[in-house]
Amino acid sequence: MRVEEILRKSELNREDLVYLMKIGSEEELEALYKKAYEVKEENVGKKVYYRGLIEFSNICVKDCNYCGIRKSNKNTEHFMMTKEEIMESAKWIYENNYGSLVLQAGERQDKEFVDFVEEVVREIKEMSQGKLGITLSLGEQSRETYERWYKAGAHRYLLRIETSNEEIYKSLHPEDRSHNFDTRIECLGYLREAGYQVGTGVMIGLPGQREEDLVDDILFYKENDIDMIGMGPYIIHDETPMGEAYKDRVLPKEKRVELGLKMIAIARIYLKDVNIAATTALQGLDPLGREKGLKAGANILMPVTTAAEHRAKYQLYNDKPCIDDTAEQCKKCLAGRVGSVGDEIAYGEWGDSPHYFKRSEE
């Protein structure tokens, strides 16, 4: 089998990666996932790290054509958690020994928001005596803002590139200055310079996206020396321009899940020591999506810990899973899922990407 031949090579080139991205038989896919799991075991171990996810606001200044909380979606019931509510979730995450949390929200650059985040980060650090790792996922910001939040105590940042293909990127966004591909790239640079461990990722199965584009996304991660990857299938949201345009034309669910798993596996094999998340979007399309993600090489899970009353309002796409679950239920459910794969949950550890430390030592 050509796949096995490729998987035995010590260095893969673009052509090899494209070949792997296009395989489709059960047997070939099994061989790919098995290899990816081995590479995971060797480089990051069989430990799964948790990042408790707090989605604290759905107010967004952006108008991305795919996203349910875009500015122009007038059906969104807006919410912004208070500092006390965020701290309550953060305490739960700390007391349940998750090790790290992620603060995510719609994008805002106004002073009130920037100050608010800075304060919240500082308080979480204090509350946990510096023990809780803090990741931010708050979109494009100025260099100064990134620096301020870093100084306050955040040490990782997620900013997806969405797709490394500039043409596709343009088709996903309105044509104005605030949705610029180069700005996104520039922000990834600012984050690195500010000292963060930098995470990025893409959506998979986008209209017009070919296997070659997905391979180029993985090469983009490599070229930009990315530490953490969060990527998942594109899922329609009805109340968006893309949802309306592609309702009946998007790749079948199974195909998008398969592509998502192939992306995880090939990224693991090619990049080896980075952190890769099995994302909620994977589970949105397949009830066993996250387990399959771990089997294909992912080592990070992001359990949603947002309070039940707000969960349903943070709908980036249709049928987001687990919106009725409490944080307690999520914890139990995930422990069972991780165990079923044969992995172990690393409670109470930050679980930084080994890739980051190797670079820091150089």
In the complex with ligand 5AD, the residue whose CB is nearer, 127 or 185, is 185
Please indicate if the annotation marks 67 as binding a ligand: yes
Span 201-220, contacts to ligand 5AD by CB under 6 A: 203
- Check binding of 256 to ligand 5AD (CB under 6 A): no
* Shortest distance in whole angstroms from residue 276 CB to ligand 5AD: 15
Please indicate if the annotation marks 360 as binding a ligand: no
The window from 94-102, 233-241, 253-261, 262-270 that contacts ligand 5AD (CB under 6 A) reads 233-241
- Check binding of 234 to ligand 5AD (CB under 6 A): yes
- Check binding of 221 to ligand 5AD (CB under 6 A): no
Please indicate if the annotation marks 60 as binding a ligand: yes
Token match 């589970």: residue?
Answer: 283
Q: How many residues bind ligand 5AD (CB under 6 A)?
A: 12
Query: Site for ligand 5AD (CB under 6 A): which residue of 16, 162, 291, 352?
Result: 162
- Check binding of 66 to ligand 5AD (CB under 6 A): yes
- Check binding of 281 to ligand 5AD (CB under 6 A): yes
- Check binding of 160 to ligand 5AD (CB under 6 A): yes
- Check binding of 316 to ligand 5AD (CB under 6 A): yes
- Check binding of 107 to ligand 5AD (CB under 6 A): no
Please indicate if the annotation marks 137 as binding a ligand: yes
* Shortest distance in whole angstroms from residue 232 CB to ligand 5AD: 6
* Shortest distance in whole angstroms from residue 250 CB to ligand 5AD: 10
- Check binding of 196 to ligand 5AD (CB under 6 A): no
* Shortest distance in whole angstroms from residue 82 CB to ligand 5AD: 22
What are the backbone dihedrals phi and psi of residue 247, each rounded to the nearest 5 degrees, phi first?
Answer: -40, -50
Please indicate if the annotation marks 64 as binding a ligand: yes
HEC string of the chain?
Answer: CHHHHHHHCCCCCHHHHHHHHHCCCHHHHHHHHHHHHHHHHHHCCCEEEECEEEEEECCCCCCCCCCCCCCCCCCCCCCECCHHHHHHHHHHHHHCCCCEEEEEECCCCCHHHHHHHHHHHHHHHHHCCCCCEEEEECCCCCHHHHHHHHHHCCCEEECCCECCCHHHHHHHCCCCHHHCHHHHHHHHHHHHHHCCEEEECEEECCCCCCHHHHHHHHHHHHHCCCCEEEEEECCCCCCCHHHHHHCCCCCCHHHHHHHHHHHHHHHHHHHCCCEEEECHHHHHHCCCHHHHHHHCCCCEECCECCCHHHHCCCCCCCCCCCCCCCHHHHHHHHHHHHHHHCCEECCCCCCCCHHHHHHHHC
In the complex with ligand 5AD, the residue whose CB is nearer, 155 or 256, is 256
Which chain residues interact with ligand 5AD by CB under 6 A? 66-67, 160, 162, 203, 232, 234-235, 237, 281, 316-317
Q: Which residues are annotated as a binding site for (3R)-3-methyl-D-ornithine?
A: 137
